[in-house]
Structure 1
Amino acid sequence: MTVHSPDIPAGTAIAPTLPDVLPDIKPRKGFIGFLRRNPTIAIGSGLLILMVFVAVFAPLLWTVDPTAISTRTRTREPSALYWFGTDMLGRDIYSRVLYGARVSLIVGFSVAFFASVAGLTIGLISGFVRAADAIIMRIMDGMMSIPPILLAVALMALTRGSVGNVILAITIAEIPRVSRLVRGVVLSLREQPYVDGAIASGTRMPKIILKHILPNTLAPLIVQATYICASAMITEAILSFIGAGTPPIIPSWGNIMAEGRALWQVKFYIVLFPAIFLSLTVLAVNLLGDGLRDMLDPRMSKSV
């Protein structure tokens, strides 16, 4: 159809308005929208919150004294009375597993925090101060040449078994990896034009680091902290399993599995339940780390 108007030359055709075929785009907002855009974070956070709830409210979740010994109820199978069974000393495995969540979560969160703070400090200094880079990184390289579990075992051999010493040993073993990550980020940021402009304007080095460098290192550092948390939980379980971690009197997932390995073929449930809880907790932290990486890194984002 041709429509003529005084402002339109004769012979010019105007197409009619097309109907709306595609529905209006409704952006997902709010908390529900965030969960839909980041399902990995939602699943990982949900599992981790569940484990934290179990650890905090263990006394209220129908548990008994995890250290109470009863020779009459040794190696009982899982039942309505003993949900996860009992070990060779008659201790309730359900109670020990729930209380053991406290040890693993405390170790994981503490190591992630202290290793991140120490590694961030070392990485900032090494990446921005050229004179200190060679010395600091050679020390970090020497520490990284030793597997973390062997370094933690060597450090634990010099001290007595306790939760605090386990945290300290694993933290020392994880610091070099954080410092190397931060140093690499700082080296790339140091060459950016805005840093050159700050230096040319006479801004002092501490202010440049705090204002321009530090904020840009937090995103990769947070993601790395989640992986350190998961690794620390596994390392703590390994140390306790081989007898170099927390004392046997403290219920931890590694200790429970170590005590049940002798009866694995006939009483597998002693090892099975703490292993399931450890695997779920590590999975939750890793899922959270993967989701944070996808959300904080624009190159990994699936949405435009």
Structure 2
Amino acid sequence: MSIPPGLAIAKLPPDILSDVKPRRGIWGFLGRYPAIAIGGSLLFIMVFVAVFAPFLFTKDPTALAPALRTREPSAQFWFGSDMLGRDVYSRVLYGARVSLIVGFSVAFFASLIGLIIGLLSGFNRIADSIIMRVMDGMMSIPPILLAIALMALTRGSVQNVILAITVAEIPRVSRLVRGVVLSLREQPYVEAAVASGTRTWKIIFKHILPNTLAPLTVQATYICAAAMITEAILSFIGAGTPPIIPSWGNIMAEGRALWQVKPYIVFFPAVFLSITVLAVNLLGDGLRDAIDPRLAKRI
């Protein structure tokens, strides 16, 4: 092609920025949401420790050795020994089982029951006026005090601790689900389904329920973290699991009298509890950012 006289074609400017390649797959997802990657990794490690505790422990966590009590951390006792000569390292490993079982169980049962109550009260005005007043009354009591009151009526066991904490956490889940249902009930597609004569249960399961699962999943992670802290508090004050069960709260309760001279008895279970709660909270924050389109980081 010939160029007319007096005209020239400018050269294309050089490429300064390289082409951006979108990251796909699991690694790309974790790269966009580092909170999920960090929290999930820490939680996986804790679950691994809890599951394989029988293969990782060095001594029987319940074996008494009064002649070896309050030994400093060493090759014989990696985390030291307590006032009864029990290996703190082995007890901390088995304590992960109690905390994770309580946390996951409370998160599951509280989410399930709260979901049912929230759906019912959010879609039925008569039920809402009755159920929400009961939930308001339960929410007026701090969860830890309600759990202590419920534990006072039963004997100490892991099952009763799960039941007590679940009852204390149900009102918050039902409130969350009810708020989501009330906002979804006014959406045009729900009104169109009602106007077309669709049955109520079909509207709930096809239009309402799927849209409540995302916020409910995020809330479940926070409930799991709160349940592990509550279980440790209950065990620490003697209202949780029996002292014979090695839980992090029991270990810290038994070592508090020697805190100033033997701080390692309290330090190691406290560190494991803090890391586990941090992992669950990071996972919840990452899920919130990934699920909420307003907070999602886009490339």
TM-score range normalised by the length of the shorter chain? over 0.9
125-134 vs 275-284, which moves further: 125-134
Of residues 205, 229, 236, the one that matches 1:241 is 236
1:99 corresponding residue in structure 2: 94
2:116 corresponding residue in structure 1: 121
Alignment of 1:14-163 (within 5 A): 16-163=11-158
Alignment of 1:150-299 (within 5 A): 150-299=145-294
What amino acid maps onto 2:225 in structure 1?
A
Q: Deviations over 1:212-245 (max 9, x none)?
A: 0000000100000000000000000000000000
- Structural RMSD (CA): 1.5
Quote the Cα distance in structure 1 between the aligned partners of 2:218 and 2:78.
Answer: 36
**Counterpart contact for 2:57–2:93, Cα < 8 Å:** no
TM-score relative to the length of structure 1: 0.95
SS in 2 for 1:254: helix
Q: Deviations over 1:75-105 (max 9, x none)?
A: 0000111000000000000000000000000
What amino acid maps onto 1:220 in structure 2?
P
Matched residues, number: 298
Q: CA deviation at 1:11?
A: 8.9
Q: CA deviation at 1:24?
A: 1.5
TM-score relative to the length of structure 2: 0.97
273-282 vs 123-132, which moves further: 123-132
SS in 1 for 2:294: helix
Quote the Cα distance in structure 1 between the aligned partners of 2:100 and 2:225.
Answer: 9
Unaligned runs of 5+ in 2: none
Q: CA deviation at 1:16?
A: 4.8
Q: CA deviation at 1:29?
A: 1.2
Quote the Cα distance in structure 1 between the aligned partners of 2:81 and 2:11.
Answer: 79
